[in-house]
Structure 1
């Protein structure tokens, strides 16, 4: 049979309205950013703020060019980005493994749950000196990144497991399925939306952990540049580093969104 085109004029108007809305939202975001930068520039020009202490956008652009073409800005950005990606991978892998353990063994879940609660409430910056002594100045950054994001990963993935309907699991049990088969065929595929949400949360948390680790012990990275710029009173260096952190977070979140779209398509296709 010939396929019937389900699109109607009303549906076409709806699609045009949605595209127009997305365009207006993007335009509004750019306008807000431009207004903030203009206000910052004018505040420095009219001496509402001290440019030596708060810098200004025009000075940031000059400093960015100097650091990018005659300094090591991209080198430090690459180090922070690599540390963040490794931290995300370690947190997602370790956190998912622990969540699977809690689902697999009720005894392990009950026994370890108080420790998870305590570690989640513990200020992670207090662990910085411990990681520095145990792991050294290089690997302590990864320790801080994992410490901040792994507990959230465990909690979110475990909650995702709990939300999965038990009817399918009981049906598989009645057919003699093992726990490994239930995990591989039901639990993990059905947890894809929760894993995607956890990944997006971990982008910000892991970047925070990396920067905190660089504050405490690192000799390279954007966190190190921020501390160094503050110590030598070069606020342009600090502001440029903060701006690069913001751009890095946007890029990482964009990559997480691309992975999320790919995972959703694959999940719906297999479902």
Structure 2
């Protein structure tokens, strides 16, 4: 079932989404070689608690951590651990916040130092594809329009692998609502978009082939060929004439640019 949100509910969801953005911003300030993802997970959990929110992911279907920390060839759902991040690593940090009865859920991929030209291009392309998809989040369009835009900007343009097994989703009082939002598809197909639908749009793009596998922990998903994967995610409300992005990358990008330990992607995607 798809739940349309009214103006008041959308503003409540914006608060949850912006809390995730703020949490990612604070993490961006402290990311550096030598830091562990487990310490970042603890930091995020405490930050959310300080702001009277609970982590959406913790205990969700048994997930044992506050956040997902996916490094290099881990696509999504990476377990935080005691291994130290090192120069050249990339990390997708995915956070959910449950605040005042509503979920925010989005992600950002950071580069520790310089990961190399090929990985930089993958980061740039994936981030740009997110905004290409968001442009289509307008009433009257269809889910397939979002999916096609993302696939066109990544797989068709660069030959990257668009993960099939994992998709974006509706968001609201539950963390996963209908409809599903894949990152591949045909224009003019799928669920028709209506104003008030809130979607977590999240391209998950592999440098190599699209195939992935799940580790024995039942959660961590890696690329089969061991090549890097990049993940970006925004919370977006479908509008009558234009999309409304509830989350905020601008504050994350500012912290990223001010942290000398992070590689700042040169080509900034233009927000709609």
Task: Classify the TM-score, shorter chain.
Answer: under 0.3
Larger Rg, first or second structure (1 or 2): 1
Q: Tell me the TM-score normalised to structure 2 length.
A: 0.27
The structure with more strand, counted as a fraction of residues: 2
Q: Tell me the TM-score normalised to structure 1 length.
A: 0.27
